């Protein structure tokens, strides 16, 4: 039997699963502890009324012969949703053809499954610290990964110039095939400027690489002028694929919907990746629930959009409360301004998992150890602003009194 032995090279279990196991063990030992979770990036605000209403209508449509919807033809998303997404892009000045938008069941699936289009020999460049899925999915395929260092010195925003400091650069003259960029960044909350992204676009084009731009947190960008889409950058349409999600935009973590944008002019070795990605999805996927797609489209209705903006504002206010506490305590951090994540230096020189245990045991607060995001994350810690207000305030009080 020829199994994929690359799976045996995966380290430990997936970060958030490990955290869940540790928290569950603590809860079993301390059943009365009132644990506040500021760890996994899961939302807490319920679906907004416009989405709920749209989904009820869709459920009823599915229950009637005349309005029942079966397979989403081609499995790439209904035109009504792809057009609504294109309208969302147009709203901030980015022109995307609805045909270039492929609807999927979430960014995690999309950014994992798109790797199908590339050879196991493709060379991958990944920032460190980073969302662990980028790393694990490439290990599963046996790809060689080169890491680029995100550090306090570069504001956790590595640039092509930093490549000379990359780890595992075993070949002289190394050029990557696939470059991952996440901005606003998970886990650091840092956001690339237009000028910085232009450097990455230029570098990708020069290297003949594809840029995977993970824009899952674009809706949190508040500072005018900071880019939300890679397609705001000149030249990106011939080198970049963008990944977006309704998870953080509209609280769809339990509903599952995301989308990719693969420009029609993006091709390598004469092969249009847009056609390949469509073929991949049409063959291996059967589309997203009609009910989900109706809910997702309602996000872009005037009332839906104002309702989700309110939720985003709520989370950003949470981030301010966390930031204020950290400032008071003299703890250094990035993020929280244009992102739901606050990335802090563990106080007292503590290691990431040491601080995780300290917070869990002494404050009953769960965060995410920075070391789980890569070796540059050691000594750092991620808090998320997705909690409920009273929990955030209570958690900050406990941390202040530690």
Residue 102 vs 255, nearer CB to its own copies: 255
Neighbours of 292 (CB within 10 A): 21
Q: DSSP states of 159-177 as a string?
A: -GGGGGG-BT--STT---S
Site for its own copies in 101-120 (CB under 8 A): 105-106, 108-109, 112-113, 116-120
Residue 1 vs 29, nearer CB to its own copies: 1
Residue 285 vs 333, nearer CB to its own copies: 285
Q: Is 255 in the site for its own copies (CB under 8 A)?
A: yes
Closest to 44 measured CA to CA, from 389, 310, 288, 387: 387
- Say whether 241 sits in a helix, a strand or coil: strand
Q: Is 40 in the site for its own copies (CB under 8 A)?
A: yes
Closest to 100 measured CA to CA, from 224, 265, 253: 265
Residue 136 vs 167, nearer CB to its own copies: 136
Diameter of the chain measured on Cα atoms: 65
What six digits make up the tokens of 117?
Answer: 């289009």
Neighbours of 314 (CB within 10 A): 15
CB of 208 to its own copies, least distance (A): 5
Q: Is 317 in the site for its own copies (CB under 8 A)?
A: no
Among 28, 29, 31, 71, binds its own copies (CB under 8 A): 71
Residue 10 vs 402, nearer CB to its own copies: 10
CB of 94 to its own copies, least distance (A): 25
Site for its own copies in 263-282 (CB under 8 A): 268-269, 271, 273, 276, 279-280, 282
CB of 259 to its own copies, least distance (A): 15
Closest to 106 measured CA to CA, from 304, 324, 299, 254: 254
Site for its own copies in 369-398 (CB under 8 A): 388
What six digits make up the tokens of 397?
Answer: 């009080």
Cβ contacts of residue 261 below 8 Å, gap of 6+? 96, 100, 101, 102, 231, 241, 242, 244
Residue 133 vs 395, nearer CB to its own copies: 133
């Amino acid at each position: 039997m020829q199994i994929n032995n690359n799976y045996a090279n995966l380290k430990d279990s997936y970060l958030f699963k490990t955290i869940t196991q540790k928290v569950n063990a603590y809860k079993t030992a301390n059943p009365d502890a009132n644990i506040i979770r500021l760890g996994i990036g899961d939302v807490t605000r319920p679906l907004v009324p416009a989405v709920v209403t749209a989904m009820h209508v869709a459920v009823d449509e599915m229950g009637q012969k005349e309005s029942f919807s079966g397979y989403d033809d081609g499995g790439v998303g209904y035109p009504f949703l792809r057009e609504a997404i294109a309208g969302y892009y147009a709203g901030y000045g980015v022109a995307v053809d609805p045909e270039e938008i492929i609807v999927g069941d979430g960014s995690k699936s999309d950014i994992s499954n798109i790797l199908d289009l590339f050879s196991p020999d493709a060379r991958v460049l990944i920032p460190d610290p980073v969302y662990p899925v980028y790393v694990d999915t490439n290990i599963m395929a046996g790809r060689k990964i080169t890491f680029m260092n995100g550090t306090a010195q570069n504001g956790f925003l590595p640039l092509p110039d930093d490549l000379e400091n990359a780890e595992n650069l075993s070949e002289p003259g190394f050029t990557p095939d696939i470059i991952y960029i996440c901005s606003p960044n998970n886990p650091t909350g840092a956001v690339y400027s237009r000028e910085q992204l232009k450097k990455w676009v230029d570098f990708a084009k020069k290297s003949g690489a594809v840029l995977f731009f993970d824009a899952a947190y674009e809706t949190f960008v508040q500072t005018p002028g900071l880019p939300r889409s890679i397609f705001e950058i000149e030249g990106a349409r011939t080198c970049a694929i963008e990944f977006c999600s309704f998870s953080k935009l509209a609280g769809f973590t339990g509903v599952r919907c995301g989308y990719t944008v693969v420009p029609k002019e993006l091709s390598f070795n004469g092969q249009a990746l847009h056609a390949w990605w469509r073929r991949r999805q049409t063959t291996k996927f059967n589309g997203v629930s009609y009910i989900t797609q109706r809910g997702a489209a309602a996000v872009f209705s005037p009332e839906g959009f104002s309702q989700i903006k309110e939720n985003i504002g709520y989370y950003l206010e949470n981030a301010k409360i966390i930031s204020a506490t950290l400032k008071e305590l003299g703890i250094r951090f990035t993020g929280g301004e244009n992102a739901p994540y606050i990335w802090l230096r563990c106080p007292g020189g503590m290691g990431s998992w040491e601080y995780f245990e300290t917070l869990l045991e002494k404050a009953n607060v769960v965060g995410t150890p920075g070391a789980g995001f890569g070796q540059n994350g050691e000594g750092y810690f991620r808090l998320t602003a997705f909690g409920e207000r009273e929990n955030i305030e209570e958690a900050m009080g406990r941390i202040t009194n530690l």
